């Protein structure tokens, strides 16, 4: 490139810079670009060259002393180069914020200063806004009743709000999070740090703090913490102790209601079977005896008596059916395995449903009445749903005892359902809720897996709770004695009728 082109290239570059450029020697301006004049509100730089920068060119009288002082230091070589920001004002008095960089150079063998101006008003306003926003955020977080804190991947808490600080179990500055949060000496067994950092979704969990005897619901999310060059997670913990206590009371009430319901069913079943049923039997025997006595009578009297006998027989069957529905006698006679097998055979005959029932490990297992009746009710409800809704052709039932639990699995090949669908969420799955409550009553686990067109699988696991054989036999003896006396009373009434 020819030498004469260099001055033109220099002027083109400087003229198009976004920064104002100036050169001072003996405090006088020996060079200014147009942008320098624009920054301070001058329409042109004509008349600004070879003028005293601090007395004439720099328009803000309030900040000029700081401006001059820093330039004097640079000229003295202490330091030879510096950058700073300061408030200033334009020619018309409009305040703004400038960023200045100045360095010592030589011009003609004598010391001079080369400097740049940059209008940083927008950045300053943004910074102030960010500061205000951060302060507002801090106030909001401190006003929260939830515990909010930030934890690094090496278990250091680098931020905690007011609520968190008020309930710490250790020293926030030196102790790891498991010490600060729960008073533990080792990492929490349910620590989800690795899972949080491996996911871009919030992680939810609940835990019980043994130190404070409180329940917490926690949401954790991986975040980037300004000024920290390592993975961090944000945690928001809410004290749900009262909620847990309320849920416990509701569960206890639900359990009592289920138990009371079964006791009432048992009572009504026995009253129907042992009292009303036996009385109807006695009346039928009397009617049948009367029919024999009227065998040679004329007219329709005999037909009417025989009709009454048939009505009584139907009534006896209805009472037996109601009694079995309230408290299945097969459960007391045959036990859980026998009752399920007996019911399966009846359902096969009544509905043409293929039921594959298999057991393992149940031989010799004696369950208490509560466990038997609730497992049986779960089976009943599940098969009732299959018949009513599933449109299934086959059902597999497995009942397996493997200490210390009993597992019952019921799986059909029906049409299934959407577990997240509105029908289930709106309470349409009350049968499932009832089954879950019965399993919860036994301190077990209840799982349902289903999808449209994919059938349904129900898995129940409950702890084995055996009962001594003598308790069952004593209860059976009481029932037999009561039934015998009722039957004897019915026979005596029949004899009186005769």
pTM reported for the whole predicted model: 0.48
pLDDT in the model for residue 130: 59
Which pLDDT does position 260 carry in this prediction? Answer: 79
Q: Burial, 389: exposed, middle or buried (Cβ in 10 Å; 0-12, 13-18, 19+)?
A: middle
Q: Do residues 83 and 101 touch, judged by C-beta distance below 8 A?
A: yes
Closest to 373 in 3D by CA, of 381, 385, 362, 363: 381
CB 127 within 8 A of CB 110: no
- Tell me if 148 sits within 8 A of 164, measured CB to CB: yes
Inter-residue contact 120 to 97 (CB < 8 Å) = yes
The topology under which CATH files domain 265-471 is Heat Shock Protein 90 (3.30.565)
Distance between start and end Cα atoms, the chain: 141
Q: Can you read off the two tokens belonging to residue 189?
A: 């067994």
**What residues does 239 pair with on adjacent strands?**
216
Give which of 232, 236, 160 is closest to 193, Cα–Cα.
232
CATH topology of domain 144-239: Beta-Lactamase (3.30.450)
pLDDT at 490: 43
Q: Note the pLDDT of residue 496.
A: 35
In the chain, list all ranges with CATH 3.30.450.20.
14-122, 144-239
Cross-strand partners of 85: 99
328-331: long-range contacts (C-beta < 8 A, 24 or more apart)?
328/376, 329/273, 331/372, 331/373, 331/376
CA 287 to chain centre: 66
Q: What is the CATH number of domain 14-122?
A: 3.30.450.20
What is the spatial distance between Cα 94 and Cα 385, in angstroms, rounded to a whole number? 80
Question: What is the predicted pLDDT for the residue at 424?
Answer: 60
Residues of the chain with pLDDT under 50: 1-4, 426-427, 469-498
pLDDT, position 317: 81
CA-CA distances (angstroms) from residue 243 to 21, 165, 248, 309? 67, 23, 8, 60
Q: What is the predicted pLDDT for the residue at 127?
A: 62
């Amino acid at each position: 490139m020819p030498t004469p082109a260099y001055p033109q290239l220099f002027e083109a570059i400087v003229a198009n810079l976004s920064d104002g450029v100036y050169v001072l020697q003996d405090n006088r301006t020996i060079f200014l670009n147009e942008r320098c004049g624009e920054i301070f509100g001058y329409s042109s730089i004509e008349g600004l060259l070879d003028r005293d920068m601090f007395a004439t060119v720099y328009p803000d009288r309030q900040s000029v002393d700081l401006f001059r002082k820093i330039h004097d230091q640079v000229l003295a070589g202490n330091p030879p180069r510096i950058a700073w920001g300061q408030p200033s004002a334009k020619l018309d008095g409009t305040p703004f914020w400038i960023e200045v960089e100045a360095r010592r150079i030589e011009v003609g063998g004598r010391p001079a200063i080369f400097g740049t101006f940059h209008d940083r008003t927008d950045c300053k306003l943004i910074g102030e806004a960010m500061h205000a926003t951060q302060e507002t955020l801090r106030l909001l977080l401190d006003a929260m009743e939830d515990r909010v804190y930030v934890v690094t991947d090496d278990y250091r808490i680098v931020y905690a709000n007011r609520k968190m600080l008020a309930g710490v179990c250790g020293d926030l500055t030196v102790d790891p999070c498991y010490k600060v949060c729960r008073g533990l000496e080792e990492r929490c067994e349910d620590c989800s740090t690795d899972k949080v950092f491996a996911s871009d979704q919030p992680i939810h969990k609940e835990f019980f703090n043994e130190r404070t005897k409180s329940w917490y619901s926690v949401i954790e999310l991986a975040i980037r913490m300004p000024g920290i060059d390592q993975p961090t997670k944000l945690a928001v913990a809410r004290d749900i102790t009262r909620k847990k206590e309320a849920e416990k009371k509701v569960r206890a009430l639900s359990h009592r209601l289920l138990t009371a319901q079964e006791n009432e069913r048992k009572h009504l079943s026995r009253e129907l079977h042992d009292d009303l049923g036996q009385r109807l039997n006695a009346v039928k025997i009397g009617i049948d005896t009367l029919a024999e006595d009227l065998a040679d009578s004329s007219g329709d009297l005999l037909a009417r008596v025989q009709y009454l006998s048939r009505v009584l027989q139907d009534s006896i069957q209805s009472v037996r059916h109601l009694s079995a529905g309230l408290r299945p006698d097969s459960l007391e006679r045959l036990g859980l395995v026998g009752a399920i097998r007996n019911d399966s055979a009846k359902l096969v005959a009544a509905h043409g449903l293929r039921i594959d029932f298999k057991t393992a490990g149940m031989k010799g297992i004696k369950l208490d009445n509560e466990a038997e009746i609730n497992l049986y009710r779960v089976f009943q409800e599940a098969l009732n749903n299959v018949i009513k809704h599933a449109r299934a052709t086959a059902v597999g039932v497995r009942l397996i005892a493997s200490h210390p639990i009993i597992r019952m699995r019921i799986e059909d090949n029906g049409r299934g359902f959407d577990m997240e669908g509105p029908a289930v969420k709106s309470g349409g799955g009350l049968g499932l809720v009832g089954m879950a409550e019965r399993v919860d009553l036994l301190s077990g686990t209840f799982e349902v897996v289903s999808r449209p067109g994919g059938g349904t699988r129900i898995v129940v696991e409950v702890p084995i709770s055996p009962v001594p054989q003598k308790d069952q036999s004593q209860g059976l003896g009481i029932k037999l004695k009561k039934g015998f006396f009722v039957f004897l009373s019915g026979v005596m009434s029949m004899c009186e009728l005769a």
